[in-house]
Amino acid sequence: MVEMFPLNSADVAYTKISGMLSTLGDPFTRIISPKEYQSFRIGSDGNLQGVGIFINIEPRTGHLVVLSCVKGGPAARAGIHEGDELIEINGERLDGFTSEAAAQKLRGTAGTSVKVKVHSAMESSRDASIREVNLPREYITLSPISSTIIPHKTRDGHLTKTGYVKLSAFSQSAAIDMANTILDMETQGVHSYILDLRNNPGGLVKAGLDVAQIWLDGDETLVNTIDRDGNMLPINMVDGHAITRDPLVVLVNEGSASASEILAGALHDNGRAILVGHKTFGKGKIQSVTELHDGSALFVTVAKYLSPALHDIDQVGIMPDVQCTTDMLNSPRDSLLKNESSTSSLEADSCILVAEHELDIQESVGTAS
């Protein structure tokens, strides 16, 4: 190879290797530079300097799209939304860019800024929906867990507590933070849970499997892997002990990807949770990551995963049991919530309302049994 392609720099080498990998027809098999790989590792640790945006390649189009924005971050403040397409960064077109390469251009020293051109998914006319914004870079702490306790009145008038837990990413601390949050809520008398995976783009697959074991018992299958030859290998729990067996609803949407889909599939197919929301993103690739001598890394797709019930997720996604629409709530429960004095954003969220309705059903079935 060295004789055939005289390489004058690392960048030229990466370009050549990228060209070879592109012949495999898989946008997720790629090489990334040492700087990009370092940023990837920082992201998995949960701390970075940037604009607070999660991006990924849309498999069908190859375009870079926004999965979600960090609440209160520079991108969110600038009005960038889920589904928006990134077109340029600092005047450079992003055609053919990997998500890591684009993310690296967005990251940088806090106090500097970066100019991005985006196509809004909320506008019908493409020309009218393309705009350029200047984003300041800031210190972004990706705390994966946020939670609160929602006072919940059941259909028979009893006041209970529902634990709402939002998991925004699967970083190294996700499972530990989740376990601590659930343990704390158990001491406060929580009787049911809503786990919010909406706009969670994934992260460390192991973290997703570890979080699943917080909710599951025994030796259930968490996920199945299948290689290119069709060989399937289940990944099972070993003597699992759930922290709680209280009723659980999981919220998902189009921004729930990768490890989020593994977790949602594990909880749903094992009968542990009802899924509420919209169909998930559909990223079911399993990759090996090889760090090279110069600090770069090779990401190679080696298999894909299927849910415990053998549902294919890649480019398909997971369809929830119930869609988010308040029309599904009948008048007694609907009027009860509308008459409450609280005007919190959670109580105004239609998916939360539907989730509480589903928890009512689960709890009534449990009582009858």
Orientation angle between helical segments 205-215 and 174-187, nearest 10 degrees: 20
Residue 293 contacts by C-beta under 8 Å, 6 or more apart in sequence? none
Tokens of 54: 């999660």
Chain center to CA of 46:
14
Residue given tokens 């867990």 in the structure block: 145
The DSSP result for 39-96, as a single string, is HHHHHHHTEEEE--EEEEE-TTT--EEEEEE-TTSHHHHTT--TTPEEEEETTEE-TT
- How many of the other CB atoms lie within 10 Å of CB of 31? 23
Which residues is 196 bridged to in the sheet?
A: 166, 251
Other beta carbons less than 10 A from residue 95's beta carbon:
10
Active-site residue set: 258, 283
**Which residues face 146 on adjacent strands?**
166
Report the chain's terminal Cα–Cα distance, integer Å.
69
Residues in the chain: 369
Dig out the tokens for 289 from the structure: 């990551």
Q: How far apart are CA 238 and CA 252, in angstroms?
A: 27
Cβ atoms 144, 112 nearer than 8 A: no
H-helix or E-strand spanning residue 133: strand 130-136
DSSP 308: T
